[in-house]
Structure 1
Amino acid sequence: MNTQLQTTHLLHNAQHPLSIYCDGSAPDNQHGCLQVGVGVAVYDALGHCIQEYSSSVRRAGGVTSQRAELLALIIALLVAGEGDNVFSDSQYCVRGFNEWLDSWKRNAWRNSSKKPVANQDLWMLIDELKAIRPRVSVEHVAGHSGVKGNEHSDCLARQAAEGKM
């Protein structure tokens, strides 16, 4: 995994930002899934897919769809270089990254209800990645709306969750 991520980063050109689409899939999310999938598709400025990544994630006690989305975001941020654009169909990821993260840190990782932030371990890692690459944007893209990169990352995540990778 690290070799592929490093190779993609070496291909990065700040004058031609990459579009990185990420998605998580949790087929049976009612009580947490035993296995979820994450998918990331990297597109160059011409709209060509130059890298894709998918993986299944298992955890005793289950994994939620929110954690799957966050894991996909983490991979996308690892791939991203300065000026690149990360796209997610998860409002939780996008709003957490752009709106909530700074206030969570100021409030000792407590949310507006004074309760511990859910998935704090992953949000702390995302915060570290955000600090390393402050010019990476994270933007919302409507899910299942025909956006090629989003459909691609969704397909990768679903296949990984179903063990078809």
Structure 2
Amino acid sequence: MNLSSSLSSCTFSFTGIKLVLSAIVTLSFKMTEAAAASQLEALIRRLNEAERRAKLLKIEVKSIRREISALQQNVPGIRNGIAGTSDLLINSTVILLDDTPNTTTVDAPLGPLLYRRAHENNEPEAGPSSSKKLKTVNFNKDDDYVVVYTDGACENNGKANAKAGIGVWFGDAHPLNVSEPVVGRPTNNTAEIQACVKALNVIREHGETKAKIFTDSEFTINCITKWMKNWKKNNWKTSSGGAVKNKEDLEVLDKAVQALVDVKWVHVRGHSGFRGNEEADRLAQQGASRYKKS
């Protein structure tokens, strides 16, 4: 092989190496871009989740503060009865995001606090079904909206021995909390719907006009906010022509909603440690235990 051939061969080899290196650099850059995009997407998801938690936590903080204020007003001497409690309340600070936007439905998949029940007894809290209604009560509110948590419970759903109950929770030891068995067919959806009806009726009966219902029943929310309008137009028929299940209960719910100025629906994940939902579930379970087939 002469010198000219050798140089030509070397030049070709160097050119090939350059192309390979260039391809490696390009591929590495693309992989880095993809990794960055993936990381950015994950961070955005975490941010959205944190914002949702913060909004729900703000409601929880307002609720606790109002309960403390009501307790101090209603029980003489309690304001200064426990050393340090006033200072603790005054010095407590919480930095949170703005209130949840005024939308019809807010998806809140995660609760703000991991909750452990402070009481596991089976005695239902006082409510309209077990004590005389008060003429004047304090409600926990988010802006002008009464905050309430509802849940339905059903044992052996779909079976002959099914038992179902409703739970409505306004706050700790609130006089209007409700724990009752359902009326009529004992199913999970019946219980969820009737719990919302009860909450709305209690709110209306005590002079309030706006409600913010936290429920883990996406079915109930969809019935009211998505499907109800077309069902009524179609004489309570589904898009496939079948009869709408739970028609009677849904008609009652529709009337209860229309009786108020505005109702906001907030979806929370059931059994996720969100306190209000846990309390409403506890009341619903107690109501189901008292169900008797008529």
TMscore range, shorter length: 0.7 to 0.9
Matches within 5 A, 1:72-83: 72-80=195-203, 81-83=208-210
Q: 2 CA distance for matches of 1:7 and 1:150?
A: 26
Structure with higher Rg: it is 2
> Aligned to 2:230, what secondary structure does the other structure show?
helix
1:87 and 1:141 in contact (8 A); partners too: yes
In structure 2, give the amino acid aligned to 1:157.
Answer: A
In structure 2, give the amino acid aligned to 1:75.
Answer: K
In structure 1, give the amino acid aligned to 2:165.
Answer: G
Shift in CA distance, 121/145, structure 1 to aligned 2, threshold 3 Å: same
> Aligned to 1:118, what secondary structure does the other structure show?
coil
Runs (5+) with no aligned partner, structure 2: 1-127
**What is the aligned-residue identity percentage?**
29
Q: 2 CA distance for matches of 1:139 and 1:20?
A: 10
> Aligned to 2:155, what secondary structure does the other structure show?
coil
> Aligned to 2:149, what secondary structure does the other structure show?
strand
Shift in CA distance, 32/39, structure 1 to aligned 2, threshold 3 Å: farther
Q: Which residue of 2 aligns with 1:57?
A: 182
Kindly report structure 1 stretches of 4+ aligned residues shifted beyond 6 Å: none
Larger mean CA deviation between 71-80 and 142-151 belongs to 71-80
TM-score scaled by length of structure 2: 0.48
Q: More relative contact order in 1 or in 2 (CA 8 Å, sep 6+)?
A: 1
In structure 1, give the amino acid aligned to 2:199.
Answer: A
Runs (5+) with no aligned partner, structure 1: none
TM-score scaled by length of structure 1: 0.81
Residue 84 (structure 1) aligned with residue 211 (structure 2):
yes
Q: Which residue of 2 aligns with 1:26?
A: 154
Q: Which residue of 1 aligns with 2:245?
A: 118
Q: 2 CA distance for matches of 1:93 and 1:32?
A: 24
| Higher helix proportion | 2
The alpha-carbon deviation at position 156 of structure 1 amounts to 0.6
Q: Which residue of 1 aligns with 2:194?
A: 71
Q: Which residue of 2 aligns with 1:94?
A: 221
Deviations 1:6-37 (A, max 9, x none): 747x6457954321111111011132544311
The alpha-carbon deviation at position 163 of structure 1 amounts to 3.2
Shift in CA distance, 7/107, structure 1 to aligned 2, threshold 3 Å: farther
Q: CA RMSD in A?
A: 2.5
Q: 2 CA distance for matches of 1:14 and 1:139?
A: 12
2:163 and 2:187 in contact (8 A); partners too: no
1:26 and 1:68 in contact (8 A); partners too: yes
Q: 1 CA distance for matches of 2:135 and 2:253?
A: 21
Q: Matched residue pairs, number? A: 156
The alpha-carbon deviation at position 138 of structure 1 amounts to 1.9
